[in-house]
Amino acid sequence: MGGAVASALVVVGVSFAPGATAADAQSEQWYLGPMQAEKMWKTSTGEGIKVAVIDTGVNPDTPSLKGQVLADEVPKQVAYGATDDYAGHGTTMAELIVGSGADGGLQGLAPDSEVVPYRVPLGSELSAKEEKLAPTSAEAIRAAADSDVSIISMSIGSVAYEPEDAAAVKYAASKGKILVASVGNEGQDAGYIEYPAAYPYVLGVSSIDDKSHISDFGQSGNYVDLVAPGENLPAYCNGNFEKYCHNLNGTSFSTAITSAAAALIWSAHPDWTANQVTRALIDTAGRKWPKDEPTSTAGYGTIRPRSVLADPNYDAGEPYSDPLRKENTQEGEKLVTEIPPASASAKPSSGATAPSQGAAGSSKDKQAAAGSDDAKTAAADASSDSGSTLWIALGAAAAVVVIGGGVFAVLRARRAN
């Protein structure tokens, strides 16, 4: 994904070392209580679910991730640097999903799930040689699609539409995977949603704070699907993994937390398809507006996985009926998510791998930020669950660098409000 970035960190307060004081990091994970994590874990801990984290790499040796990272399952052709996190961002995302919380580290929302790491070039922190050796985002997505991971979590973003990435996303969806990505941190007036969140078949996630207010930094538009906690959270300061930093913001956090929520649900219902897990997230999201009228800042509302886990009678609907059919369909197109895999199994399937990345910009008129929602009103019951992603650098959104390629747009169904 040319020019994709994982938002840089902003240090608003002091930092502390993992293990310096027991549960230091967890004490800042304010959403675990309102989401009733302890109650959810009595029903599901995410066991049996693998999550691909496509990011800056994942360090498997932090106290919270020991035994949780399946580095040996990364295909050799895309494995370069997978466990060498050059920024700390990917490792933080992995801990938010599967972290054990050991030695004061981050507590994952789905602690018995497992992570498969993929390192892709983000921003300009890698050398030219390292960038050349690293897989492209399209290659990483395809490799994950051909594996037995269930969820592909992407706390990354770019203004560039790239046909190779779009094709890889579609391929992964056809394999029965759930793809989750951050909408970006450039603010509600940016006029666009970042890719890959803006591709069909990807759940775009924005952020809320601990008062259930939509985060001002979260980008708004047609392809915001859900919101989750993303403000005032801890994360590794850099790739040295010596300490966490405080009070960081971003839709990256929200994406990881949403991926973990999906893992909890899928683990509890292993026979469900990606459509059914997605429908569960949408049906039970906290909101004050009709379910079929998603807003441009909060989509279908705030994630509430406990509502699914606590309801033994919840009906997830038809396995091959896409709950995001309107957003995912271009005119005359058959949705790949509505075609049963060749195996006819509800479980995600596996296949082969393929190529690369290009670049193209998304413009305000091609990807209009629709409507005028109340940016400070989140969903009903939003305080019960929430999430967020990508960190804001120095109080402003991280810059996105677009690398090469021409600019063109792909029209998709527009959100009316």
Domains and CATH numbers, the chain: 15-384 (3.40.50.200)
Q: What is the pLDDT of residue 380?
A: 39
Plot region of 347 (φ>0 → left; ψ -120 to 50 → alpha; else → beta):
beta
Ranges under pLDDT 50 in the chain? 7-23, 344-346, 349-417
Q: Please give the Cα distance from 26 to 42 (Å, whole number).
A: 19
Q: How far is CA 385 from the centre of its chain?
A: 16
Tens of pLDDT, residue by residue over 189-218, are 999 999 999 999 999 999 999 999 999 999
Tokens at 361, concatenated: 């910009």
Distance CA 190, CA 200 (A): 20
Helix or strand or coil: residue 377?
coil
The predicted pLDDT at position 129 comes to 85
d(CA 273, CA 335): 14
pLDDT at residue 125, as a whole number: 74
Q: What is the pLDDT of residue 399?
A: 29
Looking at the DSSP bridge assignments, the partners of residue 178 are 151
Q: What is the pTM of this model?
A: 0.83
Rounded Cα distance between 89 and 153, Å, is 13
Catalytic residue from among 44, 64, 85, 89:
89
Whole-number pLDDT of residue 130: 86
Yes or no: say if 363 and 357 are a contact pair by the CB < 8 Å rule: no
Of residues 191, 187, 137, 127, the one with CA closest to residue 3? 137
Neighbours of 146 (CB within 10 A): 18
Q: E-assigned strands of 305-392?
A: none
Q: Give the pLDDT score at 13.
A: 34
Catalytic residue status for 89: yes
> Residue 171 is which amino acid?
Y
What is residue 5's predicted lDDT score, i.e. its pLDDT? 55
The whole-angstrom separation of Cα 110 and Cα 409 is: 36
Q: According to the model, what pLDDT value does residue 368 have?
A: 36
Between strands 233-236 and 226-229, the pairing is unpaired
Active site residue 365: no
pLDDT at 390: 33
Residue 1 is predicted with a pLDDT of 57
H-helix or E-strand spanning residue 53 = strand 50-55
Q: Which of 7, 153, 252, 267 is catalytic?
A: 252
As beta bridge partners, residue 137 has none
Q: Which of 24, 44, 55, 246 is catalytic?
A: 55
pLDDT at position 332, please?
Answer: 59
Is 363 part of the annotated catalytic residue set?
no
pLDDT in tens, 17-61: 444 443 478 999 999 999 999 999 999 999 999 999 999 999 999
